[in-house]
Amino acid sequence: MLEKTDLKTEPSEQDSKQKTKELKAALAALQQQVKQNKLPVIILFEGWGAAGKGSLISSLILNFDPRGFRVSSIVAPTEPEKREPLLWRHWLNIPEQGVISVLDRSWYQDVSVARLEKDVNDAENLRRMNDIKIFERQLTDSGYLIIKFFLHISKKEQKKRFEQLESSKNTAWRVTETDWKRNRQYDQYYRAFDEMLEYTSTACAPWHVISGMDKTAAELAVYRTVVVDCISAALKPQNKSASAQTADSLMIDPGNFSFVPMPKLKEITLDKTLDEKKYRHRLHELQDELSALHGKLYRKKVPMVIVYEGWDAAGKGGNIRRVAEALDPRGYEVVPIAAPSREETARHYLWRFWRRLPKNGHIAIFDRSWYGRVMVERIEGFCTEEDWRRAYREINEFEGQLHDWGAVVIKFWLHIDRDEQLQRFQERQNTPSKQWKITEEDWRNRAKWEEYETAVNDMLRYTSTEFAPWHIIESQDKKYGRIQTLEIIIDAIRERFQ
């Protein structure tokens, strides 16, 4: 892409300044529409050192109401951040609806020069770029607008600017030995940048390569792209035909993953039981083993994510408690998932789960999870049909990135039959100390048992990947289900250390 950028043409400065002035006024007005339409916008700047990113950002943000934008300067990750999933810190930084986020550098630092400076091999660099494409596609699919600029200058011009900066003691600090190294090895970095631009310029988030040789021309190009080509277009109503919507709604694409075949819920037998004496003996035995393995997870810095889903009154709370009893309280967290807050609904639905991931060597136990998107949100209409059908692939990609990070991902569906649920509901309702456990929402959900069963079967079919398979726990007898769960967790940890 870089070779297509004209580094010589310089338009009339007077003409450029007049057009830029008009576009600045238009941008100020567009920001209010961005807010009213709840359009989240990310404008990121990458490019050569001394190409003019800072001055362009300064010019751009002067047109915004300060209550509706924020600027982030993305630096190299700290040592703790290096041990987190690649995109973790960038997920945390995404703007809410109606806010414009301007980034001085971005997630592309992790791939643009990584092979030359961070000893990242070609295969790992390719995986990182694929993760970035997934990240950007997930954001744009959910309504984000991503505008990406790369500022391009020649080797000669960069050297000239470095020398000018070094000529003053007030600006000399801005030029580092790394900057000079990149200038000396300009051709190598040129190839690395060009490969990154070619591979990550997609239909949903294309690159805009801007010549930084002339400040006035670069400013005009940025404003024209932001105002005319991107934000204005994103605010226009989408004219998607009804027939196209119907065709799209029939499609489920869980992604190109290897899946573990799963039975349907009606095929699960729920006749297994365990007497009290055998249960107590086996419980203590397994908890002791899990306690020792938790220490090994911590020592080896291996994170673990345990997901609990299941029917209301299936015994998730008691099951989680028996697992937690075996763990060092300093090394795990139970994350209860309720309805999202205003802050959470204003961002991509996965944002709140990226925020709650465990540190290396720690365990996060999710009491309900991101699977709400394809169950309760699907059934209750809290998201569009397009949203929940798209979510199977997004969830598989999310869990795939957790696996690539090194996390052990275990998912449980606690299963009981309808009659057992009714009995437990009635017991809760008739026992004063348990009445807080039963709500009107539980009864409403029960009335939609068939719809939820269909949704669960789809979830099991489309998201039981080889790296994060589902385990159906037979919880008709709670004691049996607890032992089954502990055995699966222990086996998964053992397998991780083989």
pTM for the whole structure: 0.93
Whether residue 9 is predicted with pLDDT greater than 80 in this model: the reply is no
Q: Kindly report the number of other CB atoms within 10 A of residue 121's CB atom.
A: 10
For the stretch 165-222, pLDDT in tens is 999 999 999 999 999 999 999 999 999 999 999 999 999 999 999 999 999 999 999 9
pLDDT of 243 reads: 47
For 221, residues 6+ apart whose C-beta sits below 8 A from its C-beta are: 208, 210, 211
Whether residue 447 is predicted with pLDDT greater than 50 in this model: the reply is yes
The conformation of residue 357, written as its DSSP 8-state character, comes to P
Token pair in block for residue 270: 């729920």
The conformation of residue 238, written as its DSSP 8-state character, comes to P
pLDDT of 249 reads: 52
For the stretch 208-257, pLDDT in tens is 999 999 999 999 999 999 988 999 999 998 765 544 555 455 688 999 99
Token pair in block for residue 10: 């310089």
What gap in Å lies between CA 188 and CA 448, rounded to an integer? 61
For 426, residues 6+ apart whose C-beta sits below 8 A from its C-beta are: none
pLDDT of 10 reads: 63
Q: How confident is the model at residue 405 (pLDDT cuts 50, 70, 90)?
A: very high
For the stretch 106-146, pLDDT in tens is 999 889 887 788 778 889 999 999 999 999 999 999 999 99
The conformation of residue 236, written as its DSSP 8-state character, comes to S
pLDDT of 6 reads: 81
Q: Kindly report the number of other CB atoms within 10 A of residue 89's CB atom.
A: 16
Average pLDDT over residues 73-81: 78
How far is residue 115 CA from its own chain's centroid? 24
pLDDT of 245 reads: 52
Q: Using DSSP, how many helices (H) and how many strands (E) does the chain show? A: 23, 10
Q: Kindly report the number of other CB atoms within 10 A of residue 323's CB atom.
A: 22
pLDDT of 11 reads: 62
pLDDT of 336 reads: 97
For the stretch 312-345, pLDDT in tens is 999 999 999 999 999 999 999 999 999 999 999 9
Q: Evaluate whether 400 touches 257 at the Cβ level (below 8 Å).
A: yes
Burial-class residue 368 by CB neighbours within 10 Å (0-12, 13-18, 19+).
Answer: middle
pLDDT of 240 reads: 56
- 19 or 410, which is more confident: 410
How far is residue 469 CA from its own chain's centroid? 20
What gap in Å lies between CA 128 and CA 195, rounded to an integer? 13
Whether residue 3 is predicted with pLDDT greater than 80 in this model: the reply is yes
Backbone torsions φ then ψ of 148, nearest 5 degrees: -115, 125
Q: Kindly report the number of other CB atoms within 10 A of residue 497's CB atom.
A: 11
For 282, residues 6+ apart whose C-beta sits below 8 A from its C-beta are: 274, 483
Secondary structure percentages of the chain, helix, strand, coil, to 5: 55, 10, 30
What gap in Å lies between CA 302 and CA 300, rounded to an integer? 6
Q: Where do runs of H (alpha helix) occur along 406-464?
A: 418-430, 440-447, 449-463
Q: How confident is the model at residue 78 (pLDDT cuts 50, 70, 90)?
A: confident
For 325, residues 6+ apart whose C-beta sits below 8 A from its C-beta are: 287
